[in-house]
Amino acid sequence: MASTIRVRAISSGETTEVQALIQHPMDSGFVKDAKGDLIPPHFIQQLTFEYDGKAVLVADWGPAVSKDPYVKFSFKGGKKGDDLKISWVDNKGASDTTMAKIQ
């Protein structure tokens, strides 16, 4: 299965800019479906970016984060060709992990 995580990490020499887009419904638990039944909450709780064995960003999310979440940040360091590890876990215990090369 294709990864749910799409990442672009670009090094500008001093810093690396990371943009990530994740496929996830991010159901809040407040929305009803066509039949009028509540759709149970289903959302990513924690998203972690790791570089060189260290976390460079840890995101704790609630259901108010939009569907197919997007996040952008930068960190100091990061060399072209190095790996960045991205992983998430949701409130139902599902998870996904991917590696991305810094460009």
Partner 1 sequence: MTITQPGFPATRRLILKGSVAVALVGLGNIPFGLAPAFAAANDKYPEDAFKQKSEVDAIKALYGKTAESSDKVRLDAPEIAENGAVVPITVSSTLADVTSISILVSENPNALAASYKIPTGTLPSVANRLKMAKTTNVIAVVEAGGKLYSTSKEVKVTVGGCGG
Binding residues (CB under 8 A) for partner 1: these are 15, 26, 28, 30-32, 45-46, 54-67, 69-77
CB of 15 to partner 1, least distance (A): 7
**Three-point CA angle 73, 78, 84, nearest 5°:** 70
Give the burial class of 59: count Cβ atoms within 10 A of its Cβ; 0-12 exposed, 13-18 middle, 19 or more buried: middle
Residue 1 or 26 having the CB closest to partner 1: 26
CB of 69 to partner 1, least distance (A): 7
Is 79:102 a contact under the CB 8 Å cutoff? yes
The C-alpha atoms of residue 103 and residue 100 are separated, in whole angstroms, by: 9
Residue 62 or 99 having the CB closest to partner 1: 62
Residue 13 or 66 having the CB closest to partner 1: 66
